[in-house]
Structure 1
Amino acid sequence: MRIGELSRRTGVSPRALRYYEEQGLLTPARRPSGYREYEERDVTTVRRVQVLLSAGLGTSVIAEIVPCADDPDVVLAGRCPELLDGLAQERARITAAIDDLAAARDILDSLVGRPL
């Protein structure tokens, strides 16, 4: 599929998809005409990248994760054990952020008169 189709299917702009390629997050094949050619698995990859970006991970970290997480049924520890410590730290950071957001929500709920 070409970049427009991948964009439509994932909701990610063609510009962002090109950026993902520059960052090593996607590696589309090239047609003789120079057009990018994406595969079905790239739809899943783009969705994973979006989730990881929204969690606050940087593209350099995501670029390390993507090759190790191409199969959702494979545990990362078996494929890229060197990433586990860094990912555990990222998980702890996300958990702390969730806790902070929940506390902020509780404060707002109390201010607007909603039960906690």
Structure 2
Amino acid sequence: MTKSPNYKKFHIIAALPTTMQAFMFTCSTFEADILTFDPENKLGLRLNRKLYNQLLDRGYHFELLYSPAIEDSTKRKNLIHASHLYHSFGKSKNIIFSSGAQNHLYIRSPYDIINLYPFK
């Protein structure tokens, strides 16, 4: 994938691993900037403090999407669980909140987003 000409066209690369093998590859050798989390699936990828700090040292940022939390209570629980893990592992360093909205009705103002995040 890193040898693809499309990969070289972008300055910021986000990774969304869906399997444990892809997650371990992302943590060990894949050169990306953002590790994103899919709130539809619970964080079954077993992120721990060591992997979190390893990704921080490599310059990764962690993205959380807020619009799925507005859509469904299960997605909201998964998002809160992931944000709690990020906070307990590294005091919420390098966290990015983005909308990920598929519908314009799920976009919120910056003040609403500040209130969504429980670990200010």
Larger Rg: 1
| Same fold per superposition (TM over 0.5) | no
RCO comparison, higher one (Cα < 8 Å, 6+): 2
Q: TM-score range by the shorter chain?
A: under 0.3
Normalised TM-score (structure 2): 0.25
Higher helix share: 1
